[in-house]
Amino acid sequence: MSSNEAETEDAGSIVLWNDAHPGPDMISTRTLGFWLYMLTDAMLFASIFTAYAILWHNNAGGPGAEQVVHLVPAFVETALVFASVFAFGIAMAALKRGRQGSVVRWIGVAFLLGAGFLGMEIHEFAALAQQGIVPERSGFLSSYYTLVLTHGLHMLFGLLWMAVMVAQVLRQGFTEGVVYRLLNLRIFWHFQALIWVFIFTFVYLQGKL
Amino acid sequence: MLVHLQGPWSPLIGRLSLHQIPYHNPIILGAFAFAVAIGLALFAGVTYTRSWRYLWREWLPSVDHKKIGVMYILVGLVMMFRGFIDAVMIRTQQLMAVGPKSAGHLEALHGYIPPFHFDQIYSSHGTIMLIFAVTPILVGLMNIVVPLQIGARDMAYPYLNALGLWLTTAGAALVMLSLYLGDFSHDGWIGLTPLTELPYSPGVGVDYWLWAIQIGSVGTTLGAINIIATIIKMRAPGMKWLRMPVFTWCAMATNLIVISAFPVLAGALFLLALDRYLGTHFYTAALGGNVMLYTDLFWVWGHPEVYFLVLPAFGIMSEVIPTFSRKPLFGYTTMVLAALGISGVSWSVWMHHFFVMGAGPDVIAFFSMSSMAVGIFTGVKVFNWAFTMYRGRLRFDTPMLWAIGALSFLFIGGLTGMMLAMPAIDYQVHNSVFLIAHFHSWLMTISFAALGGISYWFPKVFGFKLDEASGKRVVWFWIAGAIIVFTPMYILGFMGMTRRLDYVSHSSWYPLLVAEQVGIGLFCVAAYYQFKQLYVSIRDRHSNRAEADAWGSTRTLEWMTHSPVPFYNFAVIPQIHARDEWAWRKERGLTRLVPDRFQDIHLPKNTYVPAVLGAVAFMFGFAMVWRIWWLAACALLALIGVVVWRSFHKDTGYVITAAEVERMERAYLEPEPDAIGEEAPVGEPAAGVVASTRMPSRQSVGG
Amino acid sequence: MSHQQPNPLDHPEVRLASTRGYLTGFLLSLALMGLSFGLVATHALSQFYGRVAISTIALLGVLAQTHFLFHLDWSETQRWHTLGFWLTVPLLVLLLGLSIWMFHSLDARAVMSGMG
């Protein structure tokens, strides 16, 4: 029965209706859909990256990447993102063992590290804005702000989602719905680290090259 | 505020003011009166048939893919009619405004529409037809048919499905509102920069256009994720990949385009919105913007978009032609590979929309070659359809006429496309009406296939056929109209007529424009017959009852259901044995639709949340257009809040017991009383798409 | 839909999590980014080779993360995720690569090419 050709029939034994068919499992159906969404998010980031690549040199006489990016804070931010992702990973390992308290605690750690990242980022941009280095100054600055802050906005949504998940875990325990949402959040959060690799490399590091 | 806004702005109502209502424009006042009249007629009709409760409980909160599909198609057809009126207005203006001696009426120097309004009309014509007419119709058809063709009970994400519908409707509502409050965009459906930047388009028009498309596109993207996940995960046992019908394969290929390309449009429009709202410099002419960047990003989406429209059309043709040739589709595997190939290669051709931009010959040559390469796959399909018809026993029912009409326009559109793929030719005719005629030939293919699909699957969804006589008249008048409008247009393109002209300076072009007007007149006759067909069909629905195998020679799984399809689709999930499963069973006399044993059926509950989210999304779009910041913030928080709140819901499904399923199914086995001209017999289970007053009591409406 | 209600925690995707895997992924990603950081901060390479180096390292970082964090392999659980990922990557390359090539060509030829 491995070919796509029609099956040879034995008239008495053709099964017309499969009433034992269990159907797809809900969790993997949900994570597949969310992964597809994540790929659309990748394309969205790609379009903003394209804008950055085209506008990168357009500083209109204003400050360029060299003046605007600071490598050490960026590396600290990198460490914070990766650590937050790692903490969430430990939460997922705790999920495997069904340890509710552990899951909640490690999501909390991930939340704090992520919030730390956002705090640093907001501080970075506030400092720039105070010096008059604002997105309306040039095409380069528009795309720099937008690319980095779009990632930041995703991180913010992730933090909100973490808070919601903690509430759901505490109220409902590990139901099917809670579990697939945790799996989706894992995908979402890990993805922010993936995007950050590109931002760190092609915005911050490339800015200083 | 970071940007300089022309006109008043207040914190409470943003840019809204009474001046934004076009009291003085008689055309718009007429349109308003027409809309009010239709609204009143609908209100009266629903009240007279006492259907308020029915619509409120069964349709508005529905998560059933069939009902959602029907609603998508309704939105699409309504918007198509609006877009058609725009087209008639364009044609009439271009006829009346030929030469310096042409008379001016109603504030126009020539013709009857001043340039300021003419620009809005062609912009809304394009935006509506592509995004809010054809897309919803095709998405609606995919929604209805794909789960049935793979033997599933519903889509993978029914709630998300409904959300996609209501987001699309919110986008359409924004476009319609722009007619009566403010302006629509004057900058074409493409919206090239820097014209769409705030200094050159200071009004709200571009904002309406931008938010309508953004909100609608989120709906389309969610729908695409849904269909792909459904096809991967929800196929019936035995429905292997290479046993799926070609329409489902085309649905898969086309939605792969959506998930890859639509986010790029979202990005392009997002950056434009930043320019217009925050004064950034992505696409501006100064301070480091790059005016071509938008063009690049837009067409990265724009070209795959047209393949997104055409692939479902190819899928429909691949279903209709075998059924009415009474032969299996020729070259199944190459059809599948061609669909996937189109979906892939369409990602490398986009620059052919701006050959004239000024890039070097190496860049242009690459895109020219890939544009020609993608035609190969379409050619494969054309030959396969031709070989399907060859030595078939053809029947020329309305769907088949639509399909053959689509095929004919495909030739013209495809060949002119290959011409345009050559930069040397494109340099001559870029943005002339030759281009317009080229892509309208393709849009004829797509709309013919869409209408063909509607008339083909209508009996399956509603249980009765559409009237054949008036339907055939629609086809012929539409085909004739299209030929007579677009042939002169190709000629005018060669003669140098550019697109989007509100005033035509060459009097020598007048005869051809008269010919085009005759053509649009034929379109109007086709529209009349279309309305007549709907009226006659509904009036005569009891004498045109359709059986499960409505056309007699259908082959694919969706025909292996009762007509109209019960809300649970299949009483028991079928076991699949072959490609064209229904044809396989018919050949072996296994045509019984009612199984012997039944099982409990789990279905999702209806919910009002998607409609609420759609309404809130509309409010968000409205608030952003008019720059009412407090309202926008509230709407955004409400969207997030409702989504979070709903995620806490645990009980979103319900069960129909095996006994209830058996009762409903057995009713189909009772002999039907002679019911010509009478109301539906009491014994008939009213559990199809249209009449579902017999829903089991447990189908409560969840949150 | 299944009626038996199996324990969600037994689902294969839940079982994919592994502390060791995540730790390896974390340390590897951080080390790779640290290497890039070091190369750039110390101006160890010329501009051209610097770009090649950080791009390669970024690519390695992505591969490390797809393996250790996303568990993208061809097993039955992850097959479709992996396929979707690898079909998306060429599109990202096309979008960025062809656009950059296009604008590079345009800038070389045109006077008003958007260079601010």
Asked if B333 is an interface residue toward chain A (Cβ–Cβ < 8 A), one would say: no
Q: What percent of chain A clears pLDDT 90, i.e. is strictly above it?
A: 86
Under a CB-based contact definition with an 8 Å cutoff, are residues B190 and B305 in contact? Answer: no
β-sheet bridge partners, residue B601: B656
Distance (Å) of CA B54 to CA B59, B338, C69? 7, 44, 50
Residue C110: predicted pLDDT: 82
For an interface test with C, the pick among A70, A199, A209 (most C C-beta atoms closer than 10 Å) comes out as A209
Residue B56: predicted pLDDT: 96
Query: Using the beta-carbon criterion (under 8 Å), do A33 and B225 form an inter-chain contact?
Result: yes
CA distance C41 to chain A (A): 8
Q: Quick one: pLDDT band at residue A20, thresholds 50, 70, 90?
A: confident
Q: Domains of chain A by range and CATH? A: 26-208 (1.20.120.80)
- What distance, in Å, lies between the first and last C-alpha atoms of chain C? 58
pLDDT > 70? residue B69: yes
Would you give the DSSP letter of residue A175?
Answer: -
| B655: enclosing H helix or E strand | strand B653-656
Radius of gyration of chain A (CA): 23
> Contact partners of C by the rule of 3+ C-beta pairs under 8 A?
A, B
Residue B670: predicted pLDDT: 72
CA torsion angle A60 A62 A66 A72 (round to 10): -130
Range of weakest confidence among A162-166, B515-519, B694-698: B694-698
Task: Share the mean pLDDT of chain B.
Answer: 93
CA distance B456 to chain A (A): 26
Under a CB-based contact definition with an 8 Å cutoff, are residues A136 and B279 in contact? Answer: yes
Distance (Å) of CA B672 to CA B13, B171, B537, B669, C67? 61, 44, 21, 9, 62
| B653: enclosing H helix or E strand | strand B653-656
Q: Which residue has the higher pLDDT, B351 or B652?
A: B351
Residue B687: predicted pLDDT: 41
pTM, two decimal places: 0.94
Q: Which of residues 150-179 of A touch C (CB under 8 A)?
A: 174-176, 178-179
Sign of torsion over alpha carbons B660, B661, B663, B664: positive
Q: Quick one: pLDDT band at residue A4, thresholds 50, 70, 90?
A: low
Instruction: Using CB atoms, pick whichever of B232, B260, B363 lies closest to residue C101.
Output: B363
Asked if C8 is an interface residue toward chain B (Cβ–Cβ < 8 A), one would say: no
Asked if A138 is an interface residue toward chain B (Cβ–Cβ < 8 A), one would say: yes
Query: Using the beta-carbon criterion (under 8 Å), do B360 and C91 form an inter-chain contact?
Result: no
Antiparallel, parallel or unpaired: β B701-702 and B601-604:
unpaired
CA–CA separation, B346 and B656 (whole Å): 45
Task: Give phi and psi for B14, each to the nearest 5.
Answer: 55, -130
Q: What is the CATH number of domain B18-702?
A: 1.20.210.10
> What's the average model confidence in pLDDT over B329-333?
96
Instruction: Using CB atoms, pick whichever of A29, A44, A138 lies closest to residue B267.
Output: A44
Would you give the DSSP letter of residue B351?
Answer: G
Instruction: Using CB atoms, pick whichever of B260, B290, B366 lies closest to residue C114.
Output: B290
> What's the average model confidence in pLDDT over B289-301?
96
Where residue B185 falls (left for φ over 0; alpha for ψ -120 to 50; beta otherwise) is beta
CA torsion angle B237 B242 B244 B250 (round to 10): 140
Domain boundaries, chain B: 18-702
Q: Which of B572, C7, B155 is nearest to A20 (CA)?
A: B572
Low-confidence ranges of chain C (pLDDT < 50): 1-2, 116
β-sheet bridge partners, residue B701: B606
SS3 assignment, position A34? helix
Task: Give phi and psi for B498, each to the nearest 5.
Answer: -85, 170
> Between A and C, how many residue pairs show a Cβ–Cβ distance under 8 A?
161
Under a CB-based contact definition with an 8 Å cutoff, are residues B461 and B548 in contact? Answer: no
Residues 6 or more apart whose Cβ sits within 8 Å of residue A44: A150, B263, B264, B266, B267
Query: Using the beta-carbon criterion (under 8 Å), do A93 and C61 form an inter-chain contact?
Result: no
CA–CA separation, B640 and B652 (whole Å): 19
Residues 6 or more apart whose Cβ sits within 8 Å of residue A28: B233, C11, C12, C13, C77
Q: What percent of chain B clears pLDDT 90, i.e. is strictly above it?
A: 90
E strands, B496-646, where? 601-604, 606-607
pLDDT > 70? residue B680: no
Q: Within a 10 A sphere around the Cβ of B8, how many other Cβ atoms?
A: 11
> What's the average model confidence in pLDDT over B62-89?
97
Residue B651: predicted pLDDT: 80
Instruction: Using CB atoms, pick whichever of B287, B358, B653 lies closest to residue C110.
Output: B358
Query: Using the beta-carbon criterion (under 8 Å), do B348 and C101 form an inter-chain contact?
Result: no
CA–CA separation, B359 and B344 (whole Å): 24
Residue tagged 């990005």 (tokens) = B267
Q: Which of A188, A170, A164, A199 is nearest to A84 (CA)?
A: A188
Amino acid present at C23: L
Asked if A71 is an interface residue toward chain C (Cβ–Cβ < 8 A), one would say: yes
β-sheet bridge partners, residue A148: none
CA distance B352 to chain A (A): 19
Q: Which of residues 674-703 of B touch A (CB under 8 A)?
A: none
CA–CA separation, A101 and A107 (whole Å): 10
pLDDT in tens, B417-438: 999 999 999 999 999 999 999 9
Under a CB-based contact definition with an 8 Å cutoff, are residues B172 and B134 in contact? Answer: no
- What distance, in Å, lies between the first and last C-alpha atoms of chain B? 39
> What's the average model confidence in pLDDT over B74-100?
96
Asked if A10 is an interface residue toward chain B (Cβ–Cβ < 8 A), one would say: no
Instruction: Using CB atoms, pick whichever of A5, A48, A58 lies closest to residue B267.
Output: A48
CA–CA separation, B573 and A78 (whole Å): 50
CA distance B690 to chain C (A): 26
pLDDT in tens, B538-561: 999 999 899 999 999 999 999 999
- What distance, in Å, lies between the first and last C-alpha atoms of chain A? 59
pLDDT in tens, B603-628: 999 999 999 999 999 999 999 999 99
Residue C114: predicted pLDDT: 53
> What's the average model confidence in pLDDT over A63-68?
93
B99, with CB counted inside 10 A (0-12, 13-18, 19+), is: middle
CA–CA separation, B459 and B564 (whole Å): 7
Q: Which two tokens stand for residue B696?
A: 């089991």
What is the DSSP code string of B39-75?
Answer: HHHHHHHHHHTT-HHHIIIIITT---HHHHHHHHHHH
B651, with CB counted inside 10 A (0-12, 13-18, 19+), is: exposed
Would you give the DSSP letter of residue B500?
Answer: S
C4-10 contacts: CB < 8 A, separation 24 or more?
C4/A22, C5/A176, C8/A27, C8/A174, C8/A175, C8/A176, C8/A178, C8/A179, C8/A180, C9/A95, C9/A96, C9/A98, C9/A174, C9/A179
* List of chain B residues whose C-beta atoms are within 8 Å of the C-beta of residue A50: 296-297
> What's the average model confidence in pLDDT over B212-221?
97
Under a CB-based contact definition with an 8 Å cutoff, are residues B368 and B421 in contact? Answer: yes
> What's the average model confidence in pLDDT over A63-74?
94
Q: Which of B127, B87, B122, B95 is nearest to B111 (CA)?
A: B95
Query: Using the beta-carbon criterion (under 8 Å), do B266 and A47 form an inter-chain contact?
Result: yes
pLDDT > 60? residue A10: no
CA–CA separation, C43 and B236 (whole Å): 60
CA torsion angle B39 B44 B46 B52 (round to 10): 90
Q: Which of C76, C86, C87, C84 is nearest to C13 (CA)?
A: C76
Q: Which residue of A has its CA nearest to B289?
A: A139
Antiparallel, parallel or unpaired: β B601-604 and B653-656:
antiparallel
SS3 assignment, position B381? helix
Task: Give phi and psi for B55, each to the nearest 5.
Answer: -65, -40
Q: Which of residues 48-67 of C touch B (CB under 8 A)?
A: none
* List of chain C residues whose C-beta atoms are within 8 Å of the C-beta of residue B231: none
| B142: enclosing H helix or E strand | helix B135-150
> Contact partners of B by the rule of 3+ C-beta pairs under 8 A?
A, C
* List of chain A residues whose C-beta atoms are within 8 Å of the C-beta of residue C67: none
Q: Which residue of A has its CA nearest to C76?
A: A28
Residues 6 or more apart whose Cβ sits within 8 Å of residue B487: B437, B515
Query: Using the beta-carbon criterion (under 8 Å), do B289 and A172 form an inter-chain contact?
Result: no
CA–CA separation, B644 and B493 (whole Å): 54
Asked if C111 is an interface residue toward chain B (Cβ–Cβ < 8 A), one would say: no
Query: Using the beta-carbon criterion (under 8 Å), do C17 and A93 form an inter-chain contact?
Result: yes
> What's the average model confidence in pLDDT over B368-381?
95
CA distance B283 to chain A (A): 8
* List of chain B residues whose C-beta atoms are within 8 Å of the C-beta of residue A18: 236-238, 572-575
Q: Which residue of A has its CA nearest to B579?
A: A6
Q: List the Cα angle B228/B582/A3 in 5-degree steps.
A: 65
